[in-house]
Amino acid sequence: MTHTVDLFVYPDCQLLDASGPWQVFASANTLLGRPHYELRLTAIEPGEVRTNGGMTLVATHALETPSPATTIPSGTLLVAGGHGVHELDDTVIRKLAERAASVSRVGSICSGAFALARTGLLDGCCVTTHWRQAERLAREFPGIDVAADALYRQCGNLYTSAGVTAGMDLALALVAADHDHRLASEVARELVMFLHRPGDQAQFSEGLRCQLASHGRLRALVDRVLNDPLADWNSDSLAAAMAVTPRHFQRLFRQQLSMTPVEFLTRLRLESARRLLAESDAPLARIADHCRIGGAEQLRRQFQRRYGLAPSAYRARFGRPLPNPAPTHASNRDAS
């Protein structure tokens, strides 16, 4: 049986909010070798829809287009984000609510959450949206719990995601729910995505946060560390790389990044460990050694402190078995 996916777009919507998830489902069809997902670009009425980047999409279905006759709601409705979401009138919101009642799964990408919020569907739910819009969503809809830093959230059959590429992560999660994590991983690989990120992962990686906060020579050093985070870095070697004294380096690091160099390295290495927990079946001790976090027990303590759950719980929730275990230090050196 096919599963209908309606992607709702409107004038001044974000192009990637529609095209990103669309391609995830389309690639899943290709890898499955059959059209499991029937993709439909839906708008207020069929025809051209100009996105906020100037590119024009052509919607093939109207918002009120009914699903195939069935006694049980079926299909998925996803609402794209974009500045135009704030211009949708009450008639469109009413039609959106009616359409949502006829499907089994409803979701929003980025600021598309504002449209769903106006229907009342998100009342009492924990949701997310683009970090820039999170405060406004919480202010305008106090009955909604807004998780400002999450990539995507699920509340029953309702799904919300952060901006742009997070919509692809949400689509991958839906593919995994419909099939399995392996297919979602294969789609991510097909689209040259770094990995399928779990929904509770922060919208900004530690590396990006540090790139945004640093400047000058320290920014150059941060880029160098991000290029090889598992190298044998420590506070003294970082100071030497900048040709400054360790004391001056510590002071400069705190001024720009509001953390110590050791905290910076620990966070990057925990992110690497988290990726390996999700993408490999390597033992915890081997991951700890590869990521230079010490032993398995030290990794458990630091992981629990940083992410609020044990590595085993994280792997049980997000892990996907792959044939190749994590590389060793030797293989890492050979690869470089």
Domains by residue range for the chain, with CATH: 3-190 (3.40.50.880), 204-336 (1.10.10.60)
Q: Which long-range contacts (CB under 8 A, 24 or more apart) does 327-336 make?
A: 327/290, 328/286, 328/290, 329/289, 329/290, 332/230, 332/290, 336/228
CB half-sphere exposure, 132, CA atoms < 13 A: 7
Which stretch of 29-43, 82-96, 183-197 has the lowest confidence by average pLDDT? 183-197
- Find, among 293, 285, 289, 274, the residue nearest to 332 by Cα: 289
- Find, among 336, 82, 155, 193, the residue nearest to 147 by Cα: 155
Per-residue pLDDT at 331 exceeds 80: no
What DSSP element (H or E) covers 59? strand 56-59
Q: Identify whether the C-beta of residue 75 lies closer than 8 Å to the C-beta of residue 104.
A: yes
Pair type for strands 37-43 and 47-50: unpaired
C-alpha triplet 184, 188, 190: angle, nearest 5°: 115
Rounding to the nearest 10 degrees, give the CA dihedral for residues 238, 239, 241, 244.
170
Considering the chain, what is the average pLDDT of its residues?
Answer: 86
- Residue 61 confidence class, pLDDT cut points 50, 70, 90: very high
The residue behind tokens 């510590």 is: 250
pLDDT tens for each residue of 215-224: 888 888 888 8
Average of pLDDT values for 66-87?
Answer: 82
- Find, among 190, 148, 146, the residue nearest to 171 by Cα: 190
Q: What is the pTM of this model?
A: 0.68
List 7's β-bridge partners, or say none.
41, 78
Tokens of 325: 């275990």
pLDDT tens for each residue of 153-182: 999 999 999 887 889 989 998 998 899 877
Distances (CA, A) of 43 to 77, 82, 114, 129, 311: 12, 14, 17, 21, 43
Q: Identify whether the C-beta of residue 27 lies closer than 8 Å to the C-beta of residue 190.
A: yes
CA 206 to mean position of chain CA atoms: 14
C-alpha triplet 6, 11, 15: angle, nearest 5°: 65
